[in-house]
């Protein structure tokens, strides 16, 4: 007897008895209602084909997409403005995360942030959570579950250009991990304050805390990524059947726990990266004074250049 034959499968229509694999096709589970996993262009649930906003829901379904539109809009505008400024991104041993790693080739005419921001931007733009958020908030496609959506002619999921580019997420994730190491170097550097007399002092400033807080949140965001979870173990049915199964199970378990909070990390890290840039920017512009606590001296450098 097929061990799966008594398993129940949940569908949008409720729980139904399993069918043999050969029959578990795209055919409707119940006459008139489709199973999950319908191909592009098939029945897509209540709301599709209805006027934008039409729904039987009585809760405040609009509140979340509205909050997402405001949050993403404001933070996106700030990040774009800061990236194109091209100045006030450094203050002593602090470097804005929008400009790290810092490349300033002489032939590049505009802000150096543009040279590197495409990688973290691509990572966020193709993130599974952000896709859901901005599809709902900006495209109304759909604005929420079981709510009438903007009719997009020829929409076929993420199978064609440009949405097929969303599949690059895993590759952006590799780049994001590399950049994360550089951001941690920036954090370490932010603890070392060079004095004019050549002494480099260990210190904890407001900027140190802002960079530390931000990089911690960016790490949590990156290591809670769905693609990373799939990479470390999501595609396996049996950990004990593969090489290094034990460590992979542990890694997968940790990433799975983090993954449960991915949405929160996505938002908090977006706030923190803007805040860290703003803090460095305001210090550099002389708008705020950076308080630093110096517990001890680190070492001496002839020019007092620090790390
Ligand atoms: Fe959000 Fe990968 S799914 S960062």
pTM, rounded to two decimals: 0.82
User: Measuring CA to CA, how many Å separate 148 from each of 44, 68, 143, 156?
Assistant: 11, 18, 8, 17
Q: Residue 167 pLDDT > 60, yes or no?
A: yes
Residue 286, in any domain of the structure: yes
- Count up the domains in the chain and report the number: 1
Least confident of 92-96, 241-245, 280-284, 287-291: 241-245
Predicted local confidence at residue 236, as pLDDT: 86
Return the residue matching tokens 């505008």.
77
Q: Stretch 274-300: mean pLDDT, rounded?
A: 90
Q: Residue 47 pLDDT > 80, yes or no?
A: no
Residue 158, in any domain of the structure: yes
Residues 6+ apart with CB under 8 A from 85: 111, 281
pLDDT: is 294 or 207 the higher one? Answer: 207
Residue 10, in any domain of the structure: no
Predicted local confidence at residue 21, as pLDDT: 43
Return the residue matching tokens 């949590």.
220
| Average pLDDT in the chain | 85
Residue 184, in any domain of the structure: yes
Helix (H) or strand (E) holding 14: strand 14-17
Domain that holds residue 77: 47-224+261-303
Residue 242, in any domain of the structure: no
Q: Stretch 265-272: mean pLDDT, rounded?
A: 98
Residues 6+ apart with CB under 8 A from 247: none
Substitution candidate for ligand 1 out of 128, 174, 220, 258 with most atoms within 8 A of CB: 128
Predicted local confidence at residue 133, as pLDDT: 96
In whole angstroms, give the CA distance from residue 29 to residue 19: 9
Residue 299, in any domain of the structure: yes
Residue 116, in any domain of the structure: yes
Q: Stretch 213-217: mean pLDDT, rounded?
A: 98
Ligand 1 nearest-atom number relative to CA 227 = 2
Q: Residue 25 pLDDT > 50, yes or no?
A: no
Q: Residue 137 pLDDT > 50, yes or no?
A: yes
Please give the distance, rounded to the nearest whole angstrom, from the Cα atom of residue 214 to the centre of ligand 1.
17
Predicted local confidence at residue 200, as pLDDT: 85
Please give the distance, rounded to the nearest whole angstrom, from the Cα atom of residue 82 to the centre of ligand 1.
23
Q: Residue 198 pLDDT > 80, yes or no?
A: no
């Amino acid at each position: 007897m097929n061990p799966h034959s008594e398993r129940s499968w949940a569908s949008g229509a409720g729980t139904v008895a399993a069918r043999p694999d050969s029959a578990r096709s795209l055919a409707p589970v119940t006459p008139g209602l489709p199973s999950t996993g319908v191909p592009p262009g098939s029945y897509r649930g209540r709301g599709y084909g209805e006027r934008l906003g039409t729904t039987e829901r009585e809760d405040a379904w609009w509140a979340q997409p509205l909050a997402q539109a405001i949050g993403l809009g404001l933070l996106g505008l700030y990040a774009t403005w800061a990236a194109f400024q091209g100045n006030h991104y450094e203050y002593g041993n602090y470097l804005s995360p929008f400009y790290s790693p810092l490349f300033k080739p002489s032939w590049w005419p505009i802000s150096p942030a543009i040279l590197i921001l495409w990688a973290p931007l691509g990572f966020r733009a193709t993130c599974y959570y952000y896709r859901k958020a901005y599809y709902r908030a900006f495209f109304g496609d759909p604005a929420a579950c079981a709510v009438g959506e903007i009719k997009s002619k020829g929409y076929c999921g993420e199978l064609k250009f440009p949405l097929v580019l969303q599949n690059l997420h895993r590759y952006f994730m590799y780049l994001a991990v590399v950049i994360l190491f550089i951001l941690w170097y920036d954090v370490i550097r932010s603890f070392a304050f060079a004095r004019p007399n050549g002494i480099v002092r260990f210190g904890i400033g407001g900027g140190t805390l802002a960079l530390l807080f931000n990089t911690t949140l960016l790490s949590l965001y990156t290591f809670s990524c769905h693609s990373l979870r799939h990479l470390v173990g999501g595609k396996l049915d049996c950990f004990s059947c593969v090489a290094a199964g034990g460590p992979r199970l542990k890694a997968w378990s940790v990433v799975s726990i983090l993954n449960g909070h991915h949405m929160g990390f996505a938002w908090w890290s977006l706030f923190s990266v803007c805040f860290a840039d703003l803090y460095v920017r305001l210090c550099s512009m002389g708008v705020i004074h950076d308080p630093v606590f110096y517990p001890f001296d680190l070492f001496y450098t002839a020019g007092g250049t620090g790390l």
